[in-house]
Amino acid sequence: MKTISIAFATAALGAFVIVGAASSHDMGGMDMSGSDIGAMDHSMSPNGMGGHMHMMEHHMRMTELRPSNAADEERAHQIVETLRGSIAKYRDYHVALAHGMRIFLPEIPQDVYHFTDYAETGNEYRGRFDIAHPGSILYTRDEAGNYTLVGAMYSAPPEATMDELDEIVPLSIARWHVHTNICLPNQLTIDDILRDNVGASWNNVPGMLPVADNPRAAELNHRYGFLADGRFGFEGKIYEANDCKAAGGHLVDQAFGWMVHVYPFSGDDLKVAFGMDVPKPIAVSNAAR
């Protein structure tokens, strides 16, 4: 979906704000208590709470690993060391917000939360990469609402070649990924999602739970919008165009460009630092929320 490059370039120029500032800074409405989330069964769980195998099989395309070599390993270690120093200042997530970063879908439960600097991401989409200043900073969030810094994410244009990706983060070390086959309700677009609009304030958006069938449906629909019933979105059960159309949606072949996560605080094992799983941080702790 090459049009997303235009959106990021526009954001980089400051022409519009992709994600609403109010929702990014006001986290008081989030209730991630175990009793609230635990009461939801798998059939009605919103996206972002699990289903990684399903996501990787149907909603993610990854680069192939190239043969390992010493030069790539040395470069990867340099990336890890650079990030350890450059993003340590964001251990307190308030610093990231103060620097203008926006939280991607802050109300939706996720394994890792992206705090994105859209100007820096715009530079990455134009090929202006700075390893010390990644477009996104990555955090985990516990049930008490505390964010813990775990890593960073680099982005590249959707049309980037494998060699171009390799020049940024070596393909023998990391597997870049793109999000594919994303079913969205006809009323919503990828641009809406970037603006943190999941249709939660709308009525009868496809993907919401039938209110008559569940006593908590209205509450869940209000919080999660079209993600409430788990069929739509980045980890949704729908991944084919005909099924998406039948459900009242449209299929996005590829959302955003190429991405790669780096977890520099997980030790010196490059397989962990550039892996797909979110590791527990070793040397980073956060100030209380």
Q: Tell me what the pLDDT averaged over the chain comes to.
A: 82
What pLDDT shows up at residue 214? 85
Question: 55: pLDDT confidence band, cut at 50, 70 and 90?
Answer: low
Judge whether residue 225 has pLDDT over 90: yes
Average pLDDT over residues 58-69: 96
Greatest alpha-carbon pair distance for the chain in Å reads 61
| Least confident range of 3-12, 85-94, 236-245 | 3-12
Closest CA to 190 of 233, 245, 143: 233
Question: What tokens does 193 get?
Answer: 């999602």
What pLDDT shows up at residue 28? 29
Angle of helix 118-125 relative to helix 3-12, nearest 10 degrees?
A: 130
What pLDDT shows up at residue 118? 92
Judge whether residue 30 has pLDDT over 50: no
Beta bridge partners of 102: 116
pTM attached to this predicted model: 0.79
| Least confident range of 55-59, 263-267, 269-273, 276-280 | 55-59
Closest CA to 124 of 224, 4, 286, 217: 4
